[in-house]
Amino acid sequence: MPRALLLENIDPVAADLLGAAGYEVESLRGALDEDDLVAALDGVDLLGIRSKTQVTARVFAARPGLVGLGAFCIGTNQIDLRAAAGAGVAVFNAPYSNTRSVVEMAIAEIIILARRLVDRDRALHAGSWDKSASGSHEVRGRTLGIVGYGNIGSQLSVLAEALGMRVLFYDLEDKLALGNAERCDTLEELLERAETVTLHVDGRAGNAGMFGAEQFARMRRRSLFLNLSRGFVVDHEALREHILSGHIAGAAVDVFPDEPREQGDPFTSVLRGLPNVILTPHVGGSTQEAQHDIGRFVAGKLVDYTGAGTTTLSVNLPTVALHGSSADRFALLHRNVPGVLARVDALVGEHGLNVDGQVLATRGELGYAVTDVSAQLPEELVKALEALPESVRLTTFRHSGA
């Protein structure tokens, strides 16, 4: 029986779907470091992770039998995608499934910070009745600056505008503004005009340390700051200094440069205990609805890939989906050089079979061809295909009916 290993408390629907597809599934609550992951992958065909487990080239080299990897989250910067492709491992993620959850949390935190509800809550829990409007504002009519206008940033733009906020955005790519949102030509322009700044950038290496003392100093005095994107993009020491000086009136931070691996592990941060600061443990996308949708979506992609060779929405392999009803199917991941498909089809003909359906796609150095044939695949043909010098991984599907 093939095996699947799911880490980091992935929603049970993923285990249910993989189990129904014939996998023996083991689920663990926490992340694993590189050494532990290498040991745990012995005999594993499918791996599921979230954001904390680092899957390196060494991991792929140590487990050549790994077929697919599911990132049950948005980002994939924790995975060496080039090494995965070279090892013939298809990687899938869930780029849209928790967008709404993150956006709703950002909207909630903007309102909470503007009303200084964090301080009011702490005071009342401490037994102090502090009924005052001092420092408390409506969000209507105020200016929100969104850094990163992707799926999350653009949806946040729409909801913020519905609340009566003016919306500015800045993105490295040329993005179409939604509603009445206004594009800023530079990050500096956005920081100087916005009263609340929220980060929704991706995990590319170039974003590391993008927001530090210089950027906080450019923000308007008594403005608000949110980061629900990646922990390594913000200098927390600089944020602390600007909160203590009063330049920044409040902040909400959901992601941190160093995060505990498991629930219950100790958490340290220079932002702890600061006034009007909301700290949350990387839960922007962690609603029950979002995690269920992510579990269902990514597990479904893994099942489609291992059951029929479908790579639709894979982040590292050419995208192929072949619909047919032939006797057998094979999928060949190969080096992208001229003439491979011709040699494949010649081998099929030499073994007395016809090609009933075929799709080829290429992506950089790799090509991926899925082929339906007219009868059962003979072992001699399978061995001949595997022996092709350009072959990276061959997968066969008996009586797929796909």
Instruction: Report, as residue numbers or ranges, the catalytic residues.
Output: 230, 259, 282
97-125 core/surface letters (b: 16 or more CB in 10 A; e: else): bbbbbbbbbbbebbebbbbbbbbbeeeee
Q: Which parts of 21-146 fold into alpha helices (H)?
A: 34-40, 57-62, 81-86, 99-114, 117-125
**Cβ contact 13:297 at 8 Å:** no
Number of neighbouring beta carbons within 10 Å of residue 204: 12
Q: Which parts of 245-339 fold into alpha helices (H)?
A: 288-308
Strand-pair category, 166-170 with 182-183: parallel
Distance (Å, rounded) from C-alpha 338 to C-alpha 369? 13
Where does 323-390 show beta strands of DSSP type E?
328-335, 355-363, 366-373
**Cβ contact 219:248 at 8 Å:** yes
| DSSP label of 206 | G
**Cβ contact 216:247 at 8 Å:** yes
Residue indicated by tokens 């697919």: 68
AA identity, residue 212: G
Q: Nearest Cα to 118, choosing from 253, 17, 283, 247? A: 253
Q: Nearest Cα to 170, choosing from 156, 158, 155, 153? A: 153
**Cβ contact 89:67 at 8 Å:** yes
Distance (Å, rounded) from C-alpha 106 to C-alpha 248? 17
Distance (Å, rounded) from C-alpha 182 to C-alpha 200? 16
Kindly tell me the sign of the dihedral angle through the C-alpha atoms of 369, 204, 14, 66. positive
Distance (Å, rounded) from C-alpha 190 to C-alpha 145? 6
Q: Tokens representing 228? A: 């629900």
**Cβ contact 71:14 at 8 Å:** no
Distance (Å, rounded) from C-alpha 92 to C-alpha 94? 7
